[in-house]
Structure 1
Amino acid sequence: MLLDNTDDFHLLETCESRGIIIQYRVYGYKIDRLLQASILIEQCSYRLMKLAKEVEKEANTESNNPFRLQKLFGEMLEVLYSLLRENNQKKEGLWIDKVLHYIHLHFREELTREQMAKKAQVSPEHFSRTFHKHTGYTYSEYLTLLRIRESQKRLLFTMPKLDELAEEVGYNEGTYLSRKFKEKVGVSPTVYYQKSKRVLALNTNHTACLLALGITPVLGVYSPFLEGIKPVPNTHKLKGYEYDIASNYQAITEACPDIIINYSGGDEKPLLLSVAPIFELPCRELSWREQFGLIAHIVDRQEVCKSWLQQYDEQIAQCNDILDQQHGARGTAIVWEIGSHQAYCLNSSHGRGSHILYEDLGFSRPAAIVTRNIEQTGYLTVDIEDIAYFQADYIFVTALPTKDFGKEHLLRVLHSEKWQSLTAVQKKQVYFLNQYELFYGYDPLSTAMQLQKLMEVLTS
């Protein structure tokens, strides 16, 4: 416990606890109030307790070193201060996260700073300081930002009457929305609706969707596979295989996108909101076809999307005719991606070719993975040696270990009696594709190429 006044503090005699009371007084106007406020420390580190006992021991013994007590006390205060600051930041983080989550859900309603401070159980002044520290905006500025970004998202699909749009995002009248919109976006809602949108994609799948629609994003994430299809200047590429907002923030800002496409649930959302509206797609809830269709709607390329999917479905029909002639009934298939330490079995929602096998080509999931609830979880993680225990008529391996440890582990499995007894092994229906970059994609372009590779091995 940290008390600003011990005069009224009494440890009950009936209590079996033992405590050490160390009194000190803080001087100086620059001293942090963390060491002056009354606080109950919920979790105390072993080091802090040990230092407190050493201070007590030193204070009660005669020492030849008059500065040792000062040194121990200073160390104890330093550790105490670090602990208090960490606890304070955690508590701040908890309430600010809850408040932001609430505001993102209810920004269309009448929300005052005082209401939010009451919900956070802090004073309005403390709320304002902390809110600005975490978001870079005042509370009213952030609320306005959310409403304007929502207006921009609505204008991607339709141009409603301004009064209707204002009511939908939390304003009373269209003229006020129009003024705020122009202040933030630089153009009126009508001009924004009519203009061609500059799109930025924060992952390879959505970059591929745009490319399939004939649009090169102003900035996008490109896998080596995508770069092989569509070489683009470095000025159009975000650094890294998977995006990193911190290192790319300046490039994102300079690209001046009208819309940012990303998967939902990212921690970077508040940071990106300052740049443009974020169109979020739930990756596990939508198939690649549904994501493709939504992006086509955003960029007004619905007919291109429809034509592309029609051609793909015609190709699927041809492939099924070939497989009917060569294989007849499909049987079960399993897809493995093998890393250095573990193996991953993938379901349709995670792609890797499984969406083609199960949804398009008529293969079924083996009972061994169905009983492990893979249709709900989307994937299954097992030790490498356990892949020999999953029976299937066809086995597809889309990636192999890159490190020697994993390679040796896999070789032992492949030479084991258990592996050799599998139906797919005995029928020579195990296919080592080992094209991670290609099969990683869950998008139109990757899917079309994955279909081609799967058909090559199935008909060879």
Structure 2
Amino acid sequence: MNKDRQLLSHIFYQPIQIVTLQEMLNDKAAHFTHPIIVIIYEGQVECTHQGKKIQLSSNSVMLLNDTDDFHLLETGESSGIVIQYCAYGSKTDHLLQDAILIEHGSYRLMNLAKEIEKEADAQGNNPFHLQKLFGEMLEVLYNHLRDNTQQQLWIDKVLHYINLHFREELTREQLAENAQVSPEHFSRTFHKHTGHTYSEYLTLLRIRESQKKLLLAMPKLDDLAQEVGYREGTYLSRKFKELVGMSPTVYYQKSKRVIALNTNHTACLLALGITPVLGVYSPFLEGIEQVLPLQKLKGYEYAITSNYQEITAACPDVIVNYSGGKEKQALLSVAPVFELPCRQLSWREQFGLIADIVDRREVCKSWLQQYDEQIAHCNYILDQQLGSRRGTAIVWEIGSHQAYCLNSSHGRGSHILYEDLGFSRPDAIVTKNIEQTGYLTVDIEDIVYFPADYIFVTALPTTDFGKECLLTVLQSEKWRSLTAVQKKQMYFMNQYELFYGYDPLSTVAQLQKLMEVLTS
């Protein structure tokens, strides 16, 4: 076939459903099976996607390719639409994949969305007009994403390089030359992207790094200066005082005002007897610790955009969070972000590092000693009832459309079973490389293919679709033939809020619940 007669290799997008925010909120059973575009005309909207709470504001657009577990929580007086669409063709475009949030959509984009909503309601005589409007809107979205990607490509590389090499001698001219842009264009784009001049940003990185080092020790100032990129301690001390408002020595000695940006680190602080000036509280934590509303960050898990003013007003000395480049970047001008990567560090290690930050090492040591004594007592009881060879155990969290099998690094009680109580992982999940990935996702009906001596289900589906899938599984012959089911060693606990935590307080409560079902 001649080249000019070959089939076109392009992708075609077709809108298949258009609903308003209020219609979706009223239909609790609604779920999407294809990609969606959420468009907010006015107001504030709260939603969740894969367990994370997201806040959308006026003129914002969110593209979701994976719509599993997407839910609207509250719309208030907001207005907007959700467009579900199908993609056809032999290739896909990465710009419209995954989860993308555009916080400031253009007037033309919003106007096209409103025209699409009107056309869908009118169901006019021209069947192609809606498709034409949708195609125009996608073109606007595509151009916006493409232009932003091209502009950010070199600045993102520059920022990544600076974040790795800020201790070295770096000049604006060197970086501009490496980025193949003029120094003037470099400065304009850098300031627009970060809110700081290049010199200010470099100083911020160096002082924040010195603050993080001072959280754990008080080195000689000259040594500290050289570690962060300055030649002498007196210059570091002057720059430190200009930015932080106090000398390095005073910062090291003072009691730190701590903000925790996730529930697990909030719980670590509470276990040490410290209430953070601001923290994220799960329903479980709120049930065991009463704090003032002003001390709680909005949302189950925080969002920088909706909490930035509160975080800034709290004047923290340190912010504790998991690893996160965007969050760290956004908070650079507020305080140092002490990062604790959850996948690389166990809850014990994170607990210990937070204890070092707030100078509660002995409290942490005593707490862990009491927990280990509790574990020893639990193992003694289980030895009497189950024998010293525990067998295999598996932990499932069943969502709206899929089931999630969890390993120790993701908690959910699995860290207690595998690391403390002597249960082992079944071969079916070991061969799936779960010790490296941390979790396994399967269709609900496929949980029957992962046999274990003990089965624990910490969360059940909340949607009709998920409930029907699970009911079909439980009524199947394959499920009834499982060893755990036949021996009545299968436990439906359905306490998502309790088992969500991976921290000292949640771990103690999870241990108690696991022992209740194992010894009942």
TM-score by length of 2: 0.73
In structure 1, distance between residues paired with 2:141 and 2:438: 42
Counterpart in the other structure of 1:160: 219
Q: Which runs of 4 or more aligned residues in structure 1 lie more than 3 Å from their structure 2 counterparts after TM superposition?
A: 78-88
Q: Does 1:380 align with 2:440?
A: yes
Q: Is the radius of gyration larger for structure 1 or structure 2?
A: 1
Match of 1:125 in 2: 184
3-state SS, counterpart of residue 257 of structure 1: coil
Where do 1:213-362 residues align within 5 Å? 213-328=272-387, 329-362=389-422
| 1:177 paired residue among 220, 236, 239 | 236
2:325, 2:271 → 1: CA distance?
A: 25
SS of the equivalent of 2:168 reads: coil
Q: Does 1:448 align with 2:508?
A: yes
1:415 paired to 2:475: yes
Higher helix share: 1
Following the alignment from structure 1 to structure 2, what is the Cα–Cα distance between the partners of residues 195 and 85? 47
In structure 2, the CA distance between the partners of 1:80 and 1:260, relative to structure 1 (3 Å rule), is: closer
Aligned sequence identity (%): 82
Is 1:116 the equivalent of 2:175? yes
Higher mean alpha-carbon deviation, 153-162 vs 125-134, is at 153-162
Letter in 1 for 2:440: L
Give the drift of 1:79: 11
DSSP 3-state at the match of 2:255: coil
TM-fit CA distance, 1:92: 1.7
Map residues 395-410 of structure 1 onto 2, 5 A cutoff.
395-410=455-470
Residue of structure 2 equivalent to 1:149: 208
Alignment partner, residue 56 of structure 2: none
Tell me how far 1:201 sits from its aligned partner: 0.3
Cα distance, 1:266 vs structure 2: 3.9
What displacement does 1:81 show? 9.8
Query: 1:239, 1:418 → 2: CA distance?
Result: 44
3-state DSSP of counterpart to 2:462:
coil
Q: Distance in 2 between matches of 1:87 and 1:116?
A: 24
Task: Look up the SS of the partner of 2:269 in the other structure.
Answer: helix
Work out which of the residue numbers 203, 212, 217 in structure 1 matches 2:271: 212
Give, in angstroms, the shift of residue 237 of structure 1. Answer: 0.3
Scaled by the length of structure 1, the TM-score of the pair is 0.82
* Deviation (angstroms), 1:118: 1.4
- 1:264-287 Cα distance to aligned partner (Å, 9 max, x none): 024121110110000001110110
What residue ranges of structure 2 are gaps of 5+ in the alignment? 6-92, 96-136
Q: Distance in 1 between matches of 2:386 and 2:144?
A: 67
* Partner of residue 153, structure 2: 94
Q: Which has the higher strand share?
A: 2
CA distance in 1, matches of 2:493, 2:177: 58
- Distance in 1 of aligned mates of 2:285 and 2:429: 31
Deviations 1:82-118 (A, max 9, x none): 9776544222211111111111110000000011111
Deviations 1:212-267 (A, max 9, x none): 00000000000000001101111000000010110100000000000000000241
In structure 2, C-alpha distance between the alignment counterparts of 1:443 and 1:80, rounded to whole Å: 46
| Equivalent in the alignment of 1:431 | 491
Consecutive unaligned residues in structure 1, runs of 5 or more: 1-14, 18-42, 46-77
Number of aligned residue pairs: 388
| Compared CA separation, residues 187 and 369, structure 1 to 2 (3 A) | same
Give the secondary structure class of the aligned counterpart of 2:404. Answer: strand
